[in-house]
Copies of this chain bind each other. A is one copy, B any other.
Amino acid sequence: MKFSLRQLEAFQATANSGSVTQAAKRLGVSQPAVSRLLADFANTVGFELFERESGTLTPTSEARYMLTEVSRVFESLNHLEDLRRDLKERTAGHLRIACLPGFATSHLPKVLTEFLDQRPGVTVTLEPDRPERILEWIIGQQYDCGITDGFSGHPATETIDIPIKTACILPEDHPLAAKDVIAVQDLRDEKIIHSRRDSPFHAALMHCFDQKGVPLNSWIEVRQFTAACTLVSQGYGASIVSALDAAQFEGRGLVSRPFEPDLSHELSILRPITGAQPLLVLDFIETFVESLQPFVHESQKAIA
């Protein structure tokens, strides 16, 4: 026959208080209840637990040995309960995030530090890489959450698309910096730094220029908006980039102005489709989306 937790509780409480009656009070039950738990426990362990000594109950030497081990049991149970609470409150766990390199260095760290500040038990793996790899990792469930762009959907992923405002960035000392809004026509004679020709965003940009009959004076093709920002901040050319990236470089050698027409850049947050989502991941995504609010293209907001 195996002993029960309740018996251990009664045993410990009685040993610590030196009396069955006190133990009953401490456990919030009646005295006979404890009395019987102790009797049952003594039966299952096979030797006497207490000796009566002028009023007080003293544990036998055997019982004293058991007591230290019993408290170890309760300690581990308390640890388990603490962990359960932390997991429920989402203050414990591990988060694996894959993202575009641009995010890993600028916006994401800010969001993460605040997120982790409130979750002392949470740890994070942050892996910056190319969009194709990010998708692979999400599908393979190596990561809980992916942040990418120009993403067209995949059946094994749950996606949230967020249209981010775009901005025209110019070197600080550029004459156009005087204008409040930069239109396509303003850029007729500028050398343009732009993203890859096969990217959806570049296609949209081309379309704008075409519509106004303005030739796009292509100068440098970059893979990432951050690269464009760096180039412009060095004083070379102009570019139309995500407002998110532009904000990171504001005041570091470039100025950012609204772009006309009101283009948007699709940011995608991916997660693997699995039955039960780690609650922590949903929590993080919520926080992250929240952090993007200042940059969201309001008129195109399509997602709840």
Contacts and interface: CB of A to CB of B under 8 A. Distances in A.
Contact of A80 (B69, B93, B279): B69
Contacts of A46: 84, 88
A62 B5 contact: no
A274 interface: yes
B87 A65 contact: yes
A190 to B, nearest CB: 49
Given A53-B274, A66-B83, A45 B77 contact: no
A93 B83 CA distance: 34
A133 interface: no
A46 B83 CA distance: 12
* Identical chains bound together, number: 2
Contact of A5 (B4, B53, B84): B4
A65 B80 contact: no
Interface string A177-191: 000000000000000
Contact of A48 (B70, B84, B276): B276
Interface in A27-60: 45-48, 50-53, 60
B45 A88 contact: yes
Contacts of A84: 45-46, 66
B275 A53 contact: yes
A92 B72 contact: no
A66 B72 CA distance: 18
A129 B276 CA distance: 71
A88 B47 contact: yes
Nearest to A8: B80
A93 B65 contact: yes
Interface in A247-274: 274
A280 to B, nearest CB: 8
A72 B65 contact: no
Nearest to A88: B46
A94 B276 CA distance: 52
The 7 closest A-B pairs by CB, nearest first: A51-B275, A51-B276, A61-B278, A46-B88, A69-B80, A48-B276, A62-B87
